[in-house]
Amino acid sequence: MTIAKYRPRTAFVTPFSDVMNGFFNHDIGQFLGQDDIQRTSNAVNIIEGPEAFQLSMLTPGFSKSDLKIALEKDVLTISAEKKEQHLEETERFTRREFVSNAFTRSFKLPEAVNVEGIKAEMTDGVLHVNIPKAVDAKPHTRAIEIV
């Protein structure tokens, strides 16, 4: 029983954008009139223990208020968006790379988890999500007496 990565393709531009970004070193979203948002895929570690799954995700630069965790049916979605503050333009930039950041990661949960017991906490730029297993899913071990 494992947690499977679930990442639906939401935009037609995404695969093409990846190729073009590497080639031109620009975000194709700018050319299509999209916001100046850098979409990333944050690194995740998932450990399956006897009692629960432990999901740890790097979230540098994001605060707890920037993050959203949602559960819809059996899909756990972690997302965040941090927008750049709009300051008065008193400086003339020769290069400006500070942009807004956003990410969305979705994970299909196995059936044998206790969705009511899911808890999350954030420590030093790392989001920790504890997903307890359902009582039926925990491994049962016992000695069997030979008669």
Report how far residue 84's alpha carbon sits from residue 100's, in angstroms, rounded to the nearest whole number. Answer: 5
- Residues sharing a CB contact under 8 Å with residue 25, sequence separation 6 or more, in sequence order: none
Q: Which pLDDT band holds residue 82 (cuts at 50, 70, 90)?
A: confident
Q: Are strands 44-48 and 52-58 parallel, antiparallel or unpaired?
A: antiparallel
Q: Provide the residue ranges of all domains of the chain, joining segments of one domain with +.
A: 4-84+99-136
How are beta strands 37-40 and 4-6 bridged, if at all? unpaired
100 by DSSP, 3-state: which? Answer: strand
Assign domain 4-84+99-136 to a CATH class: mainly beta
Residue-wise pLDDT for 26-81, tens only, equals 444 444 444 444 556 788 999 999 999 999 999 988 889 999 999 998 899 999 98
What is the CA 80 to chain-centroid distance, rounded?
8
Weakest-pLDDT range from 18-27, 39-48, 99-108, 135-144: 18-27
Q: Which residue has the tokens 């979605």?
A: 77
Find tokens 């494992």 and name the residue: 2
Cβ partners under 8 Å of residue 146, min gap 6: none
Contact 60, 125 (CB under 8 A): yes
Task: Express each pLDDT in 103-132 by its tens digit.
Answer: 899 999 988 899 999 999 999 999 999 999
Band the pLDDT of 9: cuts 50, 70, 90.
low
Q: How many Å apart are CA 134 and CA 111, to the nearest integer? A: 9
- Say how far residue 38 (Cα) sits from the centre of its chain: 14
